[in-house]
Amino acid sequence: MPDYYSGEGDDGSTGLLGSERVPKYHLRPTAFGTVDEASAALGLSRATALSEETISVIHDVQKDLYTIMVELAAVPGEEEQFQRLEAPRLSWIEEQVQSFGDRVNMPKDFIMPGDSLPAAALDLARTVVRRAERQVVRLDHESKLSNPTILPYLNRLSSLCFVLSLWENETAGVEKPTTTKSRE
C-alpha cells in the first residue's frame, strides 16, 4: 500500500527543495502554497469551462504554476537551478489576454460574479491568483526572487482570468453580465 503521508511535517515544519526545513507558516511555503491554491481554483475553472480554448489555456497555465511552485520551494540561493519559467511564457500569457480580450465586450461597470458557473469559477480563481501574487510579492521583498518573470506572470494571470470569465459568460449565452449598477 502506498504511503500517503511521511509524518515529517508533524512538528509544523516543511521541507524546501534542498536540505532546509522551515515552519509551515514561513513565507516560502505560504507563497508556493497559495500558488498551489490558485492552480486548484483554476482546475475547478477548467472542469467547468464550456470553451475548449479556455480548457486548453488553463491547462497550460497550470503547468506554468507548477513550475513557479518548484522555484518558490527552493532553498534561498539555490532557486536558479530550478528556474524554468522564462520570458517567452510571459509573452505567451500576454498574447492570451489580448486574444481573449479582443473577443469579449468589456462592460463599463464593475462585474458581479455569478452569471454562469464557468465564469464564476474563473472569478474565484482570479481572486486566489491575486492573493498568490501578494504572497509572492512579500516573499520577493523579504528575500529577492531570482526569476524576474514570476511576478509579472502572476499579474497577467489575474487579467487572463478576468477576460476568460467574460469569454465563458459569452460562451454560456450571457448577453450582458450583471454589474454593480444592474437593477436586477
Give me the pLDDT at residue 183, please.
Answer: 66
Question: Could you give the CA distance from residue 79 to residue 98 in angstroms, rounded to a whole number?
Answer: 31
Nearest in space to 118 (alpha carbons), one of 164, 181, 75: 164
More confident residue, 83 or 124: 124
User: Please, what are the domains in the chain?
Assistant: 15-102+113-171 (1.20.1200.10)
Q: Which three cell numbers stand for residue 114?
A: 455569478
Within 13 Å and on the Cβ side, how many CA atoms surround 152? 13
Residue-wise pLDDT for 123-171, tens only, equals: 999 999 999 999 999 999 998 888 999 999 999 999 999 999 999 999 9
CB atoms within 10 A of CB 145: 21
Q: Place 184 in a pLDDT band, splitting at 50, 70 and 90.
A: low
CB atoms within 10 A of CB 143: 13
CB atoms within 10 A of CB 169: 27
Give me the pLDDT at residue 35, please.
Answer: 98
pLDDT exceeds 70 at position 121: yes
Question: Could you give the CA distance from residue 123 to residue 41 in angstroms, rounded to a whole number?
Answer: 9
More confident residue, 7 or 118: 118
pTM for the model stands at 0.93
Residue-wise pLDDT for 13-49, tens only, equals: 898 888 888 889 899 999 999 999 999 999 999 999 9
Give me the pLDDT at residue 67, please.
Answer: 96
Q: Place 2 in a pLDDT band, splitting at 50, 70 and 90.
A: confident
